[in-house]
Structures are given as structure tokens and as C-alpha cells.
């Protein structure tokens, strides 16, 4: 099925504008945050997910990190994209880190595949970024809110959820990225 490149490009433009002054939590050269959401979208496309899921991957952090509303996403990209983005958004950033992550994982337990796929690709890219930071000679845990053990534990809990319904090729990518981080 051909991709709707205009719609995907529009999502990339929204993400680039909304994340304009944001950077990844990596030491060394600042990496624009939009590279993360673009990578998530590309991964979803590479794994054959439909445009709405790809677009949700591109926009998955806009509500949580930029103030864009679910209603604005719905108006610009439709109900399905808005529903996926909303499901991938931590609902209460005022809670402590551990509680936010626990609630997010609990929320994913009954989520449909398209929501799990966006979350999985998000986490794959995060894991790869952690490994790349270490490969560049930096401490990958220094810029994160928690150290290695709680981070790996969280990624392992998510793997158990992803294994229930995601395709093996996506799970293989997740396991590979997680194994690289476990080995740090």
C-alpha cells in the first residue's frame, strides 16, 4: 500500500516545530529531539505499520513534551492518530518517576498492537541511544533520571508486555537493543 507522504511530512513538520528547542539527553554534541520521533516513525514504517501508526509514532511525544493537545492532533490527523498518541502519553508528569513508569507499564498491559508498536519503537530508539552514548565514551546513565538497574528493569517489564502481541521481527529488534544495554 502506498504511503501518504504529504500527511507524514505534515506530521514531521508539526513535530519539528513543536520540538524545535528540545534536545536528546545525550552528552557531547546536542542532538535535536526531532531525530528521535523521526526515527520512531521510520521504524514503524519499516515494520509495515499503516500511516496512522507511523504518524502517531512521529507525534508520540508532542502532548507530553510540547503542550500540543490531543484535540489538536485529532483535528489535524484524525481520531486513530490522536487515540494512539494519547495512549502513549504519561498522563501525570507531577508524579514521581517510578510511579509514572509503573502506571505507564500497567496501562500498556491491555493496549492494542498499534499502541504497543509505537511504544516499542520508542523504547528501541531510546535503548539504541543509550548504547550509542556508551560507545562514544560517555556515561549513558549520567543524564537520565535513574541509573542502569531501574532502567533495565523497566525495559524488561515492557518486553514482557510486547511479547504478548508484537511481531517477532520487532521483538528481535527490541531484544537486541536491550541486550546491548544490559551489557554496558
Q: Which residues are catalytic?
A: 64-65
Cα separation, 65 vs 18, whole angstroms: 9
Q: Are 137 and 131 in contact (CB under 8 A)?
A: no
Q: Are 114 and 121 in contact (CB under 8 A)?
A: no
Beta bridge partners of 153: none
Three-state SS for 28?
coil
Sign of CA dihedral 174, 175, 178, 184: negative
Amino acid at each position: 500500500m502506498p504511503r501518504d507522504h504529504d500527511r507524514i511530512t505534515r506530521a514531521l513538520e508539526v513535530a519539528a516545530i513543536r520540538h524545535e528547542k528540545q534536545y536528546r539527553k545525550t552528552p557531547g554534541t546536542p542532538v535535536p529531539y526531532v531525530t528521535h520521533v523521526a526515527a520512531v516513525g521510520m521504524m514503524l514504517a519499516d515494520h509495515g505499520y499503516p500511516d496512522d501508526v507511523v504518524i502517531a509514532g512521529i507525534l508520540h511525544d508532542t502532548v507530553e513534551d510540547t503542550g500540543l493537545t490531543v484535540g489538536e492532533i485529532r483535528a489535524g490527523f484524525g481520531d486513530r492518530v490522536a487515540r494512539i498518541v494519547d495512549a502513549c502519553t504519561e498522563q501525570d508528569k507531577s508524579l514521581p518517576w517510578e510511579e509514572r513508569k509503573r502506571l505507564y507499564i500497567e496501562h500498556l498491559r491491555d493496549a492494542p498492537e498499534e499502541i504497543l508498536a509505537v511504544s516499542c519503537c520508542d523504547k528501541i530508539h531510546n535503548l539504541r541511544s543509550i548504547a550509542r552514548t556508551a560507545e562514544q565514551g560517555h556515561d549513558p546513565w549520567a543524564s537520565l533520571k535513574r541509573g542502569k538497574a531501574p532502567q533495565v528493569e523497566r525495559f524488561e517489564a515492557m518486553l514482557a508486555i510486547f511479547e504478548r502481541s508484537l511481531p517477532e521481527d520487532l521483538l528481535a529488534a527490541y531484544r537486541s537493543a536491550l541486550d546491548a544495554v544490559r551489557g554496558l
